[in-house]
Structure 1
Amino acid sequence: MGDDASMLRVATPSRLHFGLLVPGAGDRRRFGGLGLALTQPRLLLEAHPAPAWTITGPEAERAHQCLQKLLQHSELAQAPPLHIKILEHIPAHVGLGSGTQLALALAWLLGKAAGLRPTLADLLRWTGRAARSVVGTAAFARGGFILDFGQRHPASPTPTFLRLEFPPPWHIAVLLPQYRPGLHGPAENEVFAQLGPEANRLSERLCRLALLEILPALLERRYFDFAEGLWEYNRLAGECFRPWQGGSPYNEMVGQITATIRERGLPAVGQSSWGPALFAIAPADLLGEMLQFIRQHYCEAIKEIIITTANATGAWYETAMSRGRVFALDSEA
């Protein structure tokens, strides 16, 4: 499958999505929202020259379907065949943005193999990603804490977002409950097709929370103000999705666990996207105490706990000779 000199790796973060600012149609800008890039779980792909296109590892079938779509683009069809190994993967359909990271990573690999220097606009054109939320795309490009300014019409070829540093002492726990997968694909598209202007009744409050509470507290490193603002934002952002989440802003199990965590003194907790993944953010000592309680009392309900930190770089690449960011800070991204 080729020697080490021809090896090319790409690694991407996962992401938390805290909720949309403008979920319904009818405004000049729609969607937008807040999110955070995570160091773990991550996607790690390794490619070598090969006689034919092959993909091995977890989620290989999903990756193969994505590959076939990408090869329909004339620029990418020029790439020589690769054997792509999925060395690490992001759990699918749990609210961590696995589909976007897989598509962008594969598109970048193919672009490089074809002798191109892909820009972020290229990746979005090839993959069709960022049609709704830009958070996952921004996590790939830059990492950090992300404010997505939403989509205008006609849409810009390059997404508009603000990226902020996330305090390294604030750690993140991702809890994956034993629960059905979150909405995705056609079912998710159908939900958004039904959301009109009435779904935006809380948008003004969500914007105030984002701009006047969460972001200033983040910049000033005021954890408890940040945490209370984020909890309210996440809860209110889920209100318009009650009909699809059992009459609650969260799915039922997440609602029970988040209430317990807050009662025990950790305020920055909620559901990522459609879930069922939930997050808890806190300084390491406070988070450690809470996780000990969760392991003791929710061992059957929680199938996995991932303790991680914010990703500050976005996706990165590695060859036998070099290693660096997929999009350097001064590059077009």
Structure 2
Amino acid sequence: MRVVSGIQPTGDLHLGNLLGAILRWVRMQDEAECLFFLADLHSLSDFIDPKVRRNSVREMAAALIASGIDPNKSTLFAQSAVPAHSELCWILNGVARMGWLNRMTQWKDKAGKNREGSSVALFDYPVLQAADILLYQATHVPVGEDQKQHIELTRDIALKFNSDYDVELFVPPEPFIGGGTAARVMSLRDGSMKMSKSDPSEQSRIHLTDDNDVIALKIRKAKTDPDPLPEDPALLESRPEARNLVGIYGAMVGETDEQVLQRFAGQGFGAFKPALADAAIALLEPLRNRLVELRQDKAALDAILAAGANKAASLAQPTLDAAYRAVGLKD
């Protein structure tokens, strides 16, 4: 089993990234061969200052390692350091179809009414994503609900390529359900919206770099309702902010919503929020301290990324060579 996943190196990692993906990645390392990449090529779909982009790659690498990604267990690298990603993307553009890409929900959401003004990179994003996966003969890809459509597209591209060129080159990947349950962490200001680094309100999210006092303050100011916590999780369905905070607490301490409510049922948020803040600080403080250490040694981070890129490139080359041969670009 080989698992491939990536994350854009833009902005600080926040609690939603950690509970929703990164800690799941950490657990995956003991279940499968894992390749994790910093998707700096994908970040070209929006303009970012070049110096900011380069620094963000190191920053994200440091954050992932601080969170538990072990370069001795997994292959960690920057996407742009392996040119095979771009090369295979262009080959796959020959079999991907405009109609498929036009139907992608992410394209519709991000382009909105300004499709004519959006970048080609944003439109073609899913084909590069397919190349990221197919390049390594990945059998499984960890995805959330909002990414399942991308895996389906990757499967379509793989099957059409194999059919068009009469080869059995690409493995149609499956969604990966290992690594335990990924929490769906919502905004601290609006329980109906995902926690996001693009939200203009700093109060909506907790960064890995926030100090203990800031973490406690953000949780204290998190939006709630006046009712006490119930015994039955079903009673939280109409209370998105309450459901979010209960889910965050459970994800941090390794408990189900039922177990959390058994302990706090009947109590108001005046009692629950301090417990939530303590749990968040206990989880994030050691990660933050490790992150500060890693940031101070750019040479060590670059060495880790270079070693990961060399390994990834060696894994990718046979597939890229086979794709060149399949389409008639080399003998």
TM-score by length of 2: 0.26
Q: For the pair shown, which has the larger CA radius of gyration, 1 or 2?
A: 2
Higher relative strand content: 1
